[in-house]
Structure 1
Amino acid sequence: MQIVYLGFAGAAQLEAEAGVQLVRLARFGAFVSNCHLAIEALRPDRASPHYDVRLDLITPAHEFRSIAHCVGDNAEAAIRDAFDLAEQELEAIAARARNH
């Protein structure tokens, strides 16, 4: 997984949270070979920044599957939300594959 921080230096706890969430997607290894996570501080100059988290999945066929943006005042919660959406999408893809 590649992580990019925009508007701030990043933090070890965000990398740890992303790593924990990535483990949730391990069961979908047939559908995901890599992912890119972008965490952007939208208001870095304020005491309480606002974060935009984007997760993109890369398939084994090198196709790019973008997951919806997740926004919030807590970057860790936004990361969890992005992986929740990815898990839902991958479950739907796996179900379609089983039915074909």
Structure 2
Amino acid sequence: MGIGMQIVYLGFPGAAQLEAEAGVQLVRLARFGALVSTCHLAIEAMRPGHAGPHYDVRLDLITPAHEFKPIAHCAGDDAETAIRGAFDLAEHELETITARTREH
């Protein structure tokens, strides 16, 4: 069984291309299935002070023991880039946890 994902769009209706990008990025976390059972991805369109949309992306990981592990926010003018950034941070965090586990 793979890692599940819930996506929430805030401030805009969402887009199939963003769901597709999130799905591609989720595959990167599959090797950490023992550490993550599901994740919550929130993509928020924010406009104050910007001519076009500005996006804030938050990724929260949920462990098999139902522990909540928030990942730092990623923001930018391109939602897909911000999504990739959030998954980059998650992958780094999970690699760090895996390395620590191996040390003990």
Which TM-score tier does this pair reach, normalised by the shorter chain?
Answer: over 0.9
Segments of 4+ moved more than 3 angstroms: none
Report the AA paired with residue 20 of structure 2: A
Instruction: Name the CA distance, whole Å, in 2 between partners of 1:13 and 1:7.
Output: 17
SS of the aligned residue for 1:68 comes to: coil
TM-score relative to the length of structure 2 = 0.92
Counting aligned pairs with the same residue, the percent is 83
Deviation at 1:98, TM superposition (A): 1.0
Report the AA paired with residue 84 of structure 1: D
- Unaligned 5+ residue runs, structure 2? none
SS of the aligned residue for 2:42 comes to: strand
Deviation at 1:24, TM superposition (A): 0.1
Look up the match of 1:51.
55
Report the AA paired with residue 57 of structure 1: L
Instruction: Name the CA distance, whole Å, in 2 between partners of 1:93 and 1:34.
Output: 17
Return the match for 1:81 from 75, 81, 85: 85
Return the match for 2:25 from 21, 25, 43: 21
Does 1:40 find its partner at 2:19? no
Report the AA paired with residue 10 of structure 1: G
Instruction: Name the CA distance, whole Å, in 1 between partners of 2:51 and 2:74.
Output: 20
Deviation at 1:35, TM superposition (A): 0.1
- Unaligned 5+ residue runs, structure 1? none
Instruction: Name the CA distance, whole Å, in 2 between partners of 1:47 and 1:10.
Output: 19
Report the AA paired with residue 30 of structure 1: A
